[in-house]
Amino acid sequence: MSFLLELPEINTLSLMELRQMIWSDRKPAEPFNLVWPNLYIGDESVARDKPILSSLDITHIVNAAAGRYRINTGQQFYSDLGLKYFGVEAADHPEFNLEPYFRPSAEFIDSALKENGKVFVHCAMGVSRSGALVLSYLMICQGLSLVEAITAVRLNRDIGPNSGFLEQLRQLDMNLKSIP
């Protein structure tokens, strides 16, 4: 399974170009997909389905929709599986600032993968919040540009971070490109 296409060096695309890239040629979302070696994106149904998580040998969970009024799982919910848990109380709203969670979630995912773990990143539908956090991981820890990260993930799953998250990812892309 290929996870990365070779792309020429590209400057950061505009928000409109990124939206066009993400929303073209869409396929129905599966409950979960492997989007990078040992890294899955999925929805709430899989996050609550312990037999599926066990069958995938998931060792780490990133809940991008954590909290009392969203998907209220947590370390305690997964205690019988021995999973490590990272929760982000994010609203899927363009005005929500997801950027403070990019680096901590990326470091959690990176640490898990370096320990030969398997990570399941989810939100309600496995499209916007979880997609944005996986893209930030690929940019921060794997050195991909935003366009490369979107392309890599979309080989296996249609994601669709909302316009606010996309703009925050654009800013991250520009900031990472400016670091020598």
Question: Using 50, 70 and 90 to split pLDDT, how confident is the model at 22?
Answer: confident
Strands 32-36 and 39-42: antiparallel
Return the DSSP state at 14.
P
| Annotation: CATH topology of 15-178 | Protein-Tyrosine Phosphatase; Chain A (3.90.190)
The residue among 96 and 22 whose pLDDT is bigger is 96
Note every long-range contact of 172-175, with CB atoms under 8 Å and residues 24 or more positions apart, other chains counting: 172/99, 172/102, 172/136, 172/139, 172/140, 172/146, 173/12, 173/139, 173/145, 173/146, 174/12
pLDDT of residue 180: 64
Domain ranges across the chain: 15-178
Instruction: Give the separation between CA 87 and CA 101, rounded to whole angstroms.
Output: 10
Say what percent of the chain tops pLDDT 90: 76
Q: Based on the residue annotation, tell me whether 141 is a catalytic residue of this protein.
A: no
The active-site residue, picked from 123, 132, 159, 172, is: 123
The percentage of the chain sitting over the pLDDT mark of 70, rounded to a whole number, equals: 93
Let me know: does 82 contact 106? Beta carbons within 8 Å.
no
Is 2 in a helix, a strand, or coil?
coil
Single pTM value for the model: 0.89
Residue 148 to residues 22, 82, 155: CA-CA distances in angstroms? 12, 33, 11
Task: State pLDDT tens for residues 43-97.
Answer: 999 999 999 999 999 999 999 999 877 888 888 999 999 999 999 999 999 999 9
| Res. 6: pLDDT tops 50 | no
Q: Tell me the pLDDT tens digit for each residue of 121-147.
A: 999 999 999 999 999 999 999 999 999
pLDDT score of 19: 85
CA-CA distance, 2 to 170, in Å (whole number)? Answer: 24
